[in-house]
Amino acid sequence: METLLTLAVALMAGLLLTRLIKRWRLPAVTAYLVAGVLIGPNCLGLLGIRGLGFPTFDDVEQFGLISDVALGFIAFAIGNEFRLAQLRKTGKQAAVVAVIQALTATVFVDVVLLLLHLVLGDRLPVSTCIVLGAVATATAPAATIMVVNQYKAKGPLTDILLPIVALDDAVGLVVFAISFGAAKTMTSGSFSPLSVILNPTLEIVASLLLGAALGGLFSLVEKLFHSNSKRLSVAVAFVVLAAALSKVEIPLGGEVALSFSPLLVCMMVGSIFCNVCDFSQEIMYKTDRWTAPLYVLFFVLSGAELDLRVFSQVAVVGVGLAYILSRSAGKITGASAGARLMHCQPTVCKYLGLTLLPQAGVALGMSVTVAAGLGEQGKIIRDIILFSVLVYELIGPILTKIALTKAGEILPPQADGTPAAPAQGR
């Protein structure tokens, strides 16, 4: 009973808070995150009443299945943006801009933190600097997708934004694997170039192949059914299957292992399906409607996971602020430079960087790996990332909405306060 009651409270808390922040015209995802913080271990959870909040962070982790499934559907929805007709227009642009903005963020963070290292010395090791630089590449697709869907954003900025957010995962995996391998070398003295190069390569290739296979099978199975409800059920089954299989890890000997990225696998399923199945648009639309409450729970749980105690650590806050400011500058500068290089429209060059600031799932996943692999230093890095995620997840969606509005891709609300639908052909 407590589990069901907790889910009901989490869902209602997120929904009710959207009514409160509506007067400020803030994105709904911000309300969900704040609701999670309020019913989490640092607020309502302090009362210790199970069922009316999350008394401990272990209680939040028990609902990890919901987060895994929600991320699967978010990645599946992103895959829908990789339709061949659309890629012919923005594919090359998105790939180049994604790489440039990700690497620029890494360089900015590395330079700023290494300068801080000269001042702080061993209190901020070089290995910590380069790991945080790698984590800076990651952008959270979930918050971006929620803002785009809530306000029905449509236009050139939205068209290039979604593929870039998707490609960030692949770029981030490679940069993080190399940087993390170098950091482990600095702290332990052992180095395995084979695992540093091979593991991320295997993960990306294996994820894309598994996603492609599941996407092809999904398209074939969908054609066996004609009822919309059954087709929706098949879609749900395959996304859950993809999320489950992406958890498999196969040791290949030594430090080399075959693992999968849930985001890349589910994204590839959606990409193959939308290009192979002739009624994919309808299925994608129905899937988006079905997952609405799932997304609410995902963001409320994400908010509950944020540990406000990191604010009590002066060193974490100081380095965290340096990380946030340098990463933001890198994302904005890199996105603008990449967009200009690829001759994107002026609105894309001007506002793209602001939409790439949210950071959560992938960055948190990286922090878990770091905490497990770098001991006490890894725990400090995790605290810094938790602090930055707290800040980014609260202000990131707001900045995304502002950027899309300034670009003219979110129309002013109607008289009743609901978002206006974009004009056709916009």
Closest CA to 173 of 270, 99, 79: 99
**Coil, strand, or helix at residue 304?**
helix
Total residue length of the chain: 426
**Coil, strand, or helix at residue 250?**
strand
Q: Counting runs of H as helices and runs of E as strands, what totals does the chain give?
A: 17, 2
The pLDDT assigned to 32 comes to: 84
334 pLDDT higher than 90: yes
- Which of 307-323 are b and which e, b meaning 16 or more Cβ less than 10 Å from the residue's Cβ? beebeeeeebeebbebb
DSSP 44: G
140 pLDDT higher than 50: yes
The pLDDT assigned to 425 comes to: 36
- Residue 107 tokens read as 């360089």
Number of C-alpha atoms within 13 angstroms, CB side, residue 323?
Answer: 31
The pLDDT assigned to 344 comes to: 87
- Residue 115 tokens read as 């300068």
**Helix 228-245 with 262-276: angle, nearest 10 deg:** 150
The pLDDT assigned to 384 comes to: 82
The pLDDT assigned to 336 comes to: 93
Instruction: Provide mean pLDDT across the span 408-425.
Output: 57
Instruction: Provide mean pLDDT across the span 99-110.
Output: 93
User: What element of type H or E holds 251?
Assistant: strand 250-253
143 pLDDT higher than 60: yes
The pLDDT assigned to 194 comes to: 63
302 pLDDT higher than 60: yes
DSSP 307: -
The pLDDT assigned to 164 comes to: 86
Average pLDDT, the chain: 81
Instruction: Provide mean pLDDT across the span 88-106.
Output: 85
274 pLDDT higher than 80: yes
- The pLDDT tens digits for 144-202 are 777 888 788 888 888 888 788 877 767 876 787 777 767 776 776 555 666 666 777 78
The pLDDT assigned to 417 comes to: 53
The pLDDT assigned to 331 comes to: 93
